[in-house]
Amino acid sequence: MDPLDSMDPLDSWVLHATDNGVSWITLNRPDAMNAVTWDQRERIISLLAEASADPAVGPS
């Protein structure tokens, strides 16, 4: 079973990870050419705000 199958669709379509001071936001909806819904848009905005407020993310 694919682990993405058990995830909330919003979490599987907008992936997020932080690594070495970089916040990675990846759109994972190739069947829709990575078009975003309003909920996905709000998730992306929230992730960007979190990254902006995180002192561990950004130039070192």
Mean pLDDT per 10-residue interval, the chain, length 60 residues: 57 92 95 94 96 89
Residue 27: its pLDDT value, please? 95
Q: What is the pLDDT of residues 18-33, one digit of tens each?
A: 999 999 999 999 999 9
Distances (CA, A) of 22 to 8, 19, 37, 56: 24, 5, 25, 8
Residue with tokens 């970089």: 22
Residue 2: its pLDDT value, please? 47
C-alpha closest to that of 51 among 8, 10, 22: 22
**H helix or E strand, kind and range, residue 15:** strand 14-19
SS3 4: helix
Residue 36: its pLDDT value, please? 94
